[in-house]
Amino acid sequence: MNRGASATVTPDLNVRADFPILKERTSRGKPLIYLDSAATSQKPQAVIDAIARYYSEYNANIHRGVYEIAARATDAFEEARAKVARFLNAAEPAEIVWTRNATEAINLVAWSWGGANLHAGDIILLTQLEHHSNLVPWQLLAERTGAHLRYIPVDDRGEPILDDLDTLLQGCALVALTHVSNTLGTILPVAEIVARAHSTGAIVLVDGAQAAPHLAVDVRALDADFYALSAHKMLGPTGIGVLYGKRRLLEAMPPFLSGGDMIRSVSYERSTFNELPWKFEAGTSNIADAIAFGTAIDYLEAYGMENVRAHERALLAYAFERLAPLEARGLAIYGPHDVERSSGVVSMNFADIHAHDLASILDTEGVCIRAGHHCTMPLMARLDLAATARASFYIYNDRRDVDALVAGLEKAATIFRIS
Amino acid sequence: MDDFYRDFILDHYRNPRNFGHLPAPDAVAEDRNPLCGDEMRVEIEVDDAGNVADIRFSGKGCAISQASASMLVESAKGKSLESLIALGEASVLENVGIDISPTRMKCAMLGLSVLKSAALAGLAKAGSE
């Protein structure tokens, strides 16, 4: 691993060795070229080992055992929480609630905060870029409460149009927006939107599922009220995610799921609830994966989030450079097309080749990309697209992966007789 | 999978046969593949004997779904509605002449599924008249 802080990182060779799956070959004998990290990231050996170590050395339930391995499991679990708090620059670990993923974190806020605070006629403001996970929970909440949804529009490049933001914010109780678009890679000006939303009294939830893996996130600098993320997109395991919330808000919220561990005392008549963050963690948590997520954060911090961003920016610039000649042959690239305003995502279509056909042809070369609507059906309709082919980068990708992508596109052009 | 995209497949993809709409179809069915957003609609005109007098399909999707539908619809002309309902996946695979990877089978079978729905609708209509 490259532990330097230099902006010109070239950590490719060492990092690749840390990810065992990258040594695999496809059934056709092709090296695995993994360009779908926006769907889920690969895992370094250290994260895989952390899961095995918990189950093989100190598997025990947390927060109640008095014996040694129970204390060790509790410590590791809470230490992982503290790592997440530090990683996001939260004020304290109590503001970090474990969930299954970002989707569950958003649902927690929709049910708990939304149920207690939203009323008929209130406005929930989203952007047209939202993933279904930050859209459907608010549609259902609006149905339950009589609140209304409003959208910050995007232009044809998928850039949010903020000209009428102050008008859109009128009557708005909650703004829920993505930090980075999963479909286009667009980085949104979250701090600016939060400040303007706060000036009208609205609360802001940020869907950070595509941002936390790629950018240095400081929830206090953003002044986000809630921030949601999924571990599996940032080198961690599936099944564990995080809701960050400001203490003042979390304390006033009713429980979401209820049961064991989230209570202080229970009688046959009534219950009182545990303090933060355990009030929101009913039942036995996903202990192993929370601990392994802590290891993933160790890895990212050792690499340096500035280096992650610099590496992806350089790779994206290289990709745009290599893809440029294909644009004359019908390659269309969507999104900002600007490395300063884009995370490591290239969303595209090639001439009249459907995205699924493109993905199938790339698959024959071992190149894994995602094709489809990327769980953003309203955005696809807004941009008048049926589907796109999306390549997304992470720290273990290098220029050779971009070269393989371009070679795969050339092959598709040959098969489809595109001159 | 790259073997799939042979000339006649690409020809059916770019020049789908019987693509469009009928002025007064007797039976219509449509469906979409929610995973990829492919859409397909089949319209059938039925003659007095209960056979396909004319047929059109429309929609959008990948080469696999569009070419499979084009070939299937072409072969449906003149056939009885009952025989269309009895069609299985093999009828599609025989047309394309090559195995389809499991991840793309849904694309290949979208046309078959909509054609059978349209034939069922045609039979139901004939039965109610």
Q: Which domains does chain A have, with CATH numbers?
A: 12-40+304-415 (3.90.1150.10), 48-302 (3.40.640.10)
Interval B80-95 mean pLDDT: 94
Give the domain CATH number at B117: 3.90.1010.10
Percent of chain A whose predicted confidence (pLDDT) is above 70: 97
pLDDT at A13 over 60: no
Among A1, A351, A375, A406, which one carries the catalytic annotation?
A375
Interval A227-254 mean pLDDT: 98
Angle between helices A399-415 and A355-364 (to 10 degrees): 110
Backbone angles phi, psi at A258, to 5 degrees: -130, 160
Contacts of B107 in chain A (CB under 8 A): 356
Whether B41 is in a domain gets the answer: yes
Rounded Cα distance, A333 and A405, in Å: 14
Q: Catalytic: A375? A: yes
B4 touches chain A (CB under 8 A): yes
pLDDT at A75 over 90: yes
Query: Which residue do the tokens 């609708």 mark?
Result: B121
What pLDDT is stored for residue B103 in this prediction?
Answer: 83
What pLDDT is stored for residue A7 in this prediction?
Answer: 43
Whether B66 is in a domain gets the answer: yes
Closest CA to A129 of A376, A391, A387: A376
Whether B61 is in a domain gets the answer: yes
Report yes or no: A188 and A160 within 8 Å, Cβ to Cβ. yes
Beta bridge partners of A96: A244
B1 touches chain A (CB under 8 A): yes
The shortest C-alpha distance from A206 to chain B (Å) reads 26
Whether B129 is in a domain gets the answer: no
pLDDT tier for residue A5 given thresholds of 50, 70 and 90: very low
Neighbours of B77 (CB within 10 A): 14
Pick the more confident residue, A8 or A156: A156
- Two structure tokens written together for A26: 């496809």
pLDDT tier for residue A12 given thresholds of 50, 70 and 90: very low
What pLDDT is stored for residue A4 in this prediction?
Answer: 38
Interval A215-238 mean pLDDT: 98
Interval A180-206 mean pLDDT: 98
Contacts of A385 in chain B (CB under 8 A): none
> Which value, to the nearest 10 degrees, does the dihedral of the CA atoms of residues A111, A160, A241, A51 take?
160
Report yes or no: A316 and A346 within 8 Å, Cβ to Cβ. yes
Beta bridge partners of A227: A206, A244
Report yes or no: A122 and A337 within 8 Å, Cβ to Cβ. no
The shortest C-alpha distance from B36 to chain A (Å) reads 5
Of A28-42, A350-364, A393-407, B99-113, the range with the lowest mean pLDDT is B99-113
Strands A345-350 and A388-392: antiparallel
Q: Within 13 Å of residue A229, how many CA atoms lie on the same side as its CB? A: 29
- Two structure tokens written together for A286: 């996903």
How many separate domains does chain B show? 1
What pLDDT is stored for residue B101 in this prediction?
Answer: 84
Contacts of B108 in chain A (CB under 8 A): none
Report yes or no: A291 and A375 within 8 Å, Cβ to Cβ. no
Which residue from B minimizes the CA distance to A375? B35
* DSSP structure class, residue A109: I
Q: Domain range for residue B16? A: 2-124
B62 touches chain A (CB under 8 A): yes
Radius of gyration of chain B (CA): 14
Interval B71-93 mean pLDDT: 95
Burial of A157 (0-12, 13-18, 19+ CB in 10 A): middle
Helix (H, G, I), strand (E, B) or coil at A241: strand
What are the C-alpha distances in Å from A260 to residues A80, A263, A273, A280? 21, 6, 10, 11
* The residue type at A147: A
pLDDT tier for residue B2 given thresholds of 50, 70 and 90: low
Interval A180-192 mean pLDDT: 97
Helix (H, G, I), strand (E, B) or coil at A345: strand
> Which value, to the nearest 10 degrees, does the dihedral of the CA atoms of residues A292, A295, A301, A303 take?
-100
What pLDDT is stored for residue A236 in this prediction?
Answer: 98
Please report which helix (H) or strand (E) contains residue B29, including its range. Answer: strand B27-33
